[in-house]
Structure 1
């Protein structure tokens, strides 16, 4: 992450967040984007959760995250495995440590917690390397003199950052489409990047 921050000038570090803030405010302000309604629905779900109602999209995720954290705590080295996750969650439900809303789900809707609960610290480290290696290899070239090389470095870095973002509320790499797209596009971007002249 530090190498990613070093490639940007002070001006970029100030202007980029300002532009992002303006874009977010704009998206929120225009009702046609649907952002306003989604934000208010999420706030309502959080309020319902703290009032004791977990049967909402956000409430169910909070309960799944809590359950996954308990599963990781129970088996921190190698985790429960992909096929034992639901039985582990069922045990927590029987013990009253997890809400029944979590029962039908095969993952906790969070990539980091999914790796931790199912594959323990070993799987968690593997996931972090899956994110860190592309960023470490590509981010230093975000200031490359060659526009094609710089563009490919940006594409690879953005792909990885996007998957980190998706993983906040979905275990995207648990799905064939998610894993295949990540691997395919990283391979394509890396292949094109490596074939660029120095």
Structure 2
């Protein structure tokens, strides 16, 4: 009976492994990959429904707060859609698709694909991203290359791929197997490729995420993650060294940022990258002051911006962007307290889940690489969201939700493998 079950699940395990591989490998190198992967996870769920439902029920005490956080985030947007006639129907799409990504969690729990598929997917995605923006920057001469999307989103996701490949080394060094050194080398190269892909875009938001990731690993080093601290520290050192290489553009971007802030503060030119952000954040604060509890719609907020521009209270640079370039301010200004709680929930609940799993794995003597990677994803998105709207992009939304739920499934499968 067990042999028959194994033979039945084997094709599904291979198929699910291919989907897990597709999420990080296709996110930046194709325009359709992430959407196709999310759709195929949903289509696969009926084929493993009995096992998936049983696994979800078995792990529900651990999973519930994450699943409910994504459900709450969708419910808030749905409520505002129902009570605000000006809210467009497409405003429901991203939070609904993010919640439906729970199908990936259920499929991974039932089919139990190999973690290696995600690790090698991250390596393939990181290398592909680096080659793509490298070609755009070096061969085509594009100053801020962004592959198939904008430079900021591309650079931030590329960095996430690098961090996932980096944490994957933890899964290899703890196993004494032939070829382990070669796998660590390839995973390290994938991590480096993701980092360089981010640097080539000129994206500054990723640098803060690097620092937060290093601080997290310093904090987690007592759990058996010391070698990752060294590797990531080397990555931070590399970025610091690239500051002195003019061709990297890092020094130029930092100097531009300092100049933008000084100009805005002195009342000068506000039509700069940081100047626009600072003016938007000022306007967001004014909107929040008027509607602190429940916020206001994007359309109504833009109308208020137009009025304040006419009154001279804001510069006209705020009229072009469609969002606040800050996830927290966007959530609070458009959704009020419920909106902010929704945003905090989809970041904080997964981080707490993975942190508990990382501690359980370390206590049992089996460091959980999937749990550590899971901690780095919401931490990175928090850092990115300080200067950019990561959850405005459908591509970035689906990458976040799928990576969180896939990593949750792999984390719990790893615990069961070790009897934890």
What residue number does 2:410 align with?
A: 192
Asked if structure 2 preserves the Cα contact closer than 8 Å seen for 1:7 and 1:139, the reply is: no
Q: Which has the higher contact order (CA 8 A, sep 6+)?
A: 2
| Count of residues in Structure 1 that have an aligned counterpart in Structure 2 | 191
Residue 112 in 1 paired to residue 328 in 2?
yes
Higher deviation after alignment, 182-191 or 19-28: 19-28
**Whole-angstrom distance in 2 between the partners of 1:92 and 1:151:** 50
Query: C-alpha displacement at 1:6, in angstroms?
Result: 6.5
Structure 1 length normalisation: TM-score?
Answer: 0.85
Q: After the TM superposition, which residues 4-23 of structure 1 pair with which residues of structure 2 at under 5 Å, given as runs?
A: 7-9=220-222, 22-23=237-238
Q: Is 1:68 equivalent to 2:284 in the alignment?
A: yes
SS at match of 1:78: coil
**Distance (whole Å) between structure 2 residues aligned to residue 121 and residue 194 of structure 1:** 32
Residues 257 and 274, structure 2, Cα contact 8 Å, conserved in 1 = yes
**1:90-138 CA deviation, whole Å, 9 max, x = no partner?**
2322332221110111111011111111111111111111111011110
Contact residue 76 and residue 116 of structure 1 kept, 8 A:
yes
User: 2:357, 2:411 within 8 Å by CA — same for their partners in 1?
Assistant: no
- How far apart in 2 are the matches of 1:108 and 1:114? 6
CA deviation profile, 1:166-191 (whole Å, cap 9, x unmatched): 10111110221121111111111112
Matches within 5 A, 1:40-189: 40-51=255-266, 52-143=268-359, 144=361, 145-147=365-367, 150-189=368-407
Q: Residues of 2 paired with 1:186 and 1:82: CA distance? A: 28
Name the structure where helix makes up a greater proportion of residues.
Answer: 2
Counterpart-to-counterpart distance in 1, 2:351 and 2:296:
29
Residue of 18, 26, 29 corresponding to 2:244: 29
The CA deviation at 1:30 is 2.6
Q: Does the CA contact (< 8 Å) of 1:85 and 1:106 recur in 2?
A: no
Q: Distance in 2 between matches of 1:72 and 1:20?
A: 39
Secondary structure at the residue paired with 1:153? Answer: helix
Structure 2, unaligned stretches of length 5 or more?
1-215
Superposed displacement of residue 23, structure 1: 4.0
Using the alignment, how far apart are the partners of 1:26 and 1:7 within structure 2? Answer: 26
Which region of structure 1 is more displaced relative to structure 2, 42-51 or 67-76?
Answer: 42-51
Contact kept? 1:42, 1:58, Cα under 8 Å: yes
Q: Which moved more, 1:186-195 or 1:54-63?
A: 186-195
Gaps of 5+ in 1: none
CA distance in 1, matches of 2:313, 2:321: 16
The Cα RMSD (Å) is: 2.5
